[in-house]
């Protein structure tokens, strides 16, 4: 059976026409919505700008990608190793959990070993926050209402202000104050926002405004409603995320929905995709969300066909390996890896560089031109060599 109408990729090509129409509609809708939203919410162009180290957040700065290590912070070598892998993947700010003094002692070594700003995540103990500030962290994540009385809050806020170190308030639906739970019954968006604004006030009372806020829930719709409400009440930049989102597949979908919808509405200045996985996996997901909304252009957009009975090369392992290796690339580039010569060449021609597979071989395309036919065993290396030359970035060791 031959013929393009039967090919899953061919249907995909037709669908792309429809997707383009939807995209045009969404762009128009986004434009209209941004105008409409600007009358009653704070969009990311209106938020106050703060700096975490040298990275600007808010006031229309590019949406920043963050992550958090899952190593024991006391083991500074392991933590530095993981942060270096996060950096290579494109993480722009990293957070580490500080559970005790020993973890505080590690911060100086971690700071020396990494190239991106470092945030200390602290609960309850104001001495850990003071220690982290002395160690030179670029940001704190703590809720001032949880670190003891007014005196302790004052000490931490003054130390942060002296160093121009921002504080993120992070309200989590699982740890809302008892009185708010009693009043609202459960962690409603109103309760979450009220909690956040209480913490904000504790900081503002000491003339501190280097603030960003997150309101996290594992429920996508609650997360969206909470951030929407918060964006009508404050101009501080917002850190988006769906907490405890789940495993690679489930968490990616929940994050794409929650973070994606809010960003689409103009809400959110920095994002963290939370996955029950190696945190390095979070970074390509974050960039895929941003690329899909045309907010950031970093790295490779990989186009590959779903494979079908017409596929004549081992496409799936080829694409998986290519995807892993191409994560190192920073330059925006569209790469197509297609399974056959029926529909592959069309897609490969549209990409910056691409392969259309054939029986035991593949055709390499570059900028719409056919370059050469390559044996299947050399396809990946040939493709990666071409990308190295185009980007000037090292992929192959």
Q: Can you give the binding site for ligand SF4, defined by CB under 6 A?
A: 7-9, 305-308, 310-311, 338-340, 342-344
* Count of beta carbons in the 10 Å neighbourhood of residue 376: 18
At closest approach, how far in Å is the CB of 375 from ligand SF4? Answer: 18
- Which of 250/306 has CB closer to ligand SF4? 306
> 315 burial class (0-12, 13-18, 19+ CB within 10 angstroms)?
buried
- Which of 13/388 has CB closer to ligand SF4? 13
Residue 121, φ and ψ in degrees, nearest 5: -100, 115
Strand, coil or helix: 3: coil
At closest approach, how far in Å is the CB of 310 from ligand SF4? Answer: 4
- Which of 318/338 has CB closer to ligand SF4? 338
- Which of 65/313 has CB closer to ligand SF4? 313
At closest approach, how far in Å is the CB of 30 from ligand SF4? Answer: 31
At closest approach, how far in Å is the CB of 311 from ligand SF4? Answer: 4
| CA-based nearest residue to 262, from 214, 197, 196, 299 | 214
- Which of 96/315 has CB closer to ligand SF4? 315
Cα pseudo-dihedral 320, 326, 328, 332, rounded to 10: -140
| CA-based nearest residue to 30, from 262, 226, 222 | 262
| CA-based nearest residue to 339, from 365, 366, 369, 314 | 314
At closest approach, how far in Å is the CB of 376 from ligand SF4? Answer: 14
At closest approach, how far in Å is the CB of 333 from ligand SF4? Answer: 20
- Which of 3/54 has CB closer to ligand SF4? 3
- Counts of helices then strands in the chain (DSSP H, E): 13, 15
- Which DSSP symbol is given to 238? B
Q: Please give the Cα distance from 113 to 106 (Å, whole number).
A: 11
At closest approach, how far in Å is the CB of 358 from ligand SF4? Answer: 10
- Which of 120/340 has CB closer to ligand SF4? 340
Which residue's C-beta sits nearest to ligand SF4? 9
- Which of 7/110 has CB closer to ligand SF4? 7
Q: Please give the Cα distance from 22 to 334 (Å, whole number).
A: 21
Give the list of residues 6+ apart from residue 3 with CB closer than 8 angstroms, or none.
none
Q: Please give the Cα distance from 246 to 255 (Å, whole number).
A: 9
């Amino acid at each position: 059976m031959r013929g393009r109408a039967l090919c899953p990729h061919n249907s995909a090509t037709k669908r792309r026409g429809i997707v383009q129409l939807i995209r045009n509609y969404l762009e128009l809708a986004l434009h209209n919505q941004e105008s409409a939203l600007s009358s009653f919410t704070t969009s990311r162009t209106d938020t106050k700008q703060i700096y975490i180290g040298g990275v600007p957040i808010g006031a229309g700065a590019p949406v920043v990608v963050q992550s958090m290590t899952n190593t024991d912070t006391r083991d500074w070598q392991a933590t530095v190793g993981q942060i270096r892998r996060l950096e290579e993947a494109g993480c722009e700010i990293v957070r580490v959990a500080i559970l005790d003094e020993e973890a505080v002692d590690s911060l100086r070594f971690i700071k020396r070993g990494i190239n991106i700003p470092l945030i200390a995540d602290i609960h309850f103990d104001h001495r850990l926050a003071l220690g982290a500030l002395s160690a030179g962290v670029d940001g704190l994540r703590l809720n001032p209402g949880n670190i003891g009385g007014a005196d302790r809050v004052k000490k931490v806020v003054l130390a942060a202000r002296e160093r121009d170190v921002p504080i993120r308030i992070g309200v989590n639906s699982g740890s809302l104050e008892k009185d708010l739970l009693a009043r609202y019954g459960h962690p409603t968006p109103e309760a979450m926002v009220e909690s956040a604004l209480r913490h904000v006030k504790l900081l503002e009372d000491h003339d501190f405004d280097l603030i960003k806020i997150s309101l996290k829930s594992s429920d996508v719709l609650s997360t969206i409603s909470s951030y929407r409400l918060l964006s009508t009440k404050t101009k501080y930049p917002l850190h988006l995320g769906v907490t405890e989102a789940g495993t690679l597949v489930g968490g990616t979908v929940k994050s794409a929905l929650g973070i994606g919808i809010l960003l689409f509405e103009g809400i959110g200045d920095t994002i963290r995709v939370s996955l029950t996985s190696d945190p390095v996996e979070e970074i390509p997901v974050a960039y895929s969300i941003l690329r899909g909304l045309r907010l950031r252009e970093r790295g490779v957009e990989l186009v590959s066909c779903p494979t079908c009975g017409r596929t004549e090369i081992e496409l799936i392992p080829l694409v998986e390996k290519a995807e892993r290796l191409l994560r190192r690339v920073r330059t925006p580039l569209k790469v197509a890896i297609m399974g056959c010569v029926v529909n592959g060449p069309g897609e490969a021609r549209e990409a910056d560089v691409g392969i259309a597979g054939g029986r035991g071989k593949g055709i390499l395309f570059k900028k719409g031109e056919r370059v050469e036919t390559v044996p299947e065993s050399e396809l990946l290396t040939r493709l990666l060599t071409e990308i190295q030359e185009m980007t000037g970035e090292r992929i192959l060791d």
